[in-house]
Amino acid sequence: MRLLPVYRVTVHVPPDSVQRVVDGVCAVDDLRIGDYAHSAWISAPAIEQFRPLAGANPTLGDIGELVRAPSVRIEFCIPRDAARLARLVDSGIRPHHPWSVPAIVVDEASMPVP
């Protein structure tokens, strides 16, 4: 076994946009890890909350209003490559996500590979 340094990308998406975001990401990158492509983890629906502040342009809710909405967590890993990560975020996630500021988190992690 060896450990592959990866970026683990997590994005929270409204349930009706999950497939659009996954398809957008896979159109930009095959998400290949070893002998598998299009590898992603999609978690059960949960709730996300936010309060749009002055200057925001919320897709849902109004300025100052606490909003709670259904959300699904999508995660995938790619080998650490900053240009590849930027392409995935800028071309794969943002244009396909309905929020003006998608909740995207990137962690540096290691993935065991044979």
10-residue block means of pLDDT along the chain (114 residues)? 95 96 97 90 93 92 95 96 97 96 96 87
Can you give the CATH number for the domain in which 88 is found? 3.30.70.120
Q: What is the pLDDT of residue 114?
A: 78
Q: What is the extent of the structural domain holding 35? A: 2-113
Residue 14 has phi, psi (to 5 degrees) of -60, 145
Q: What is the pLDDT of residue 44?
A: 87
Read off the pTM. 0.89
Report the domain count for the chain: 1
Counting Cβ atoms within 10 Å, is residue 84 exposed (0-12), middle (13-18) or buried (19+)? middle
In angstroms, the CA 43 to CA 75 distance is 8
In angstroms, the CA 55 to CA 12 distance is 22
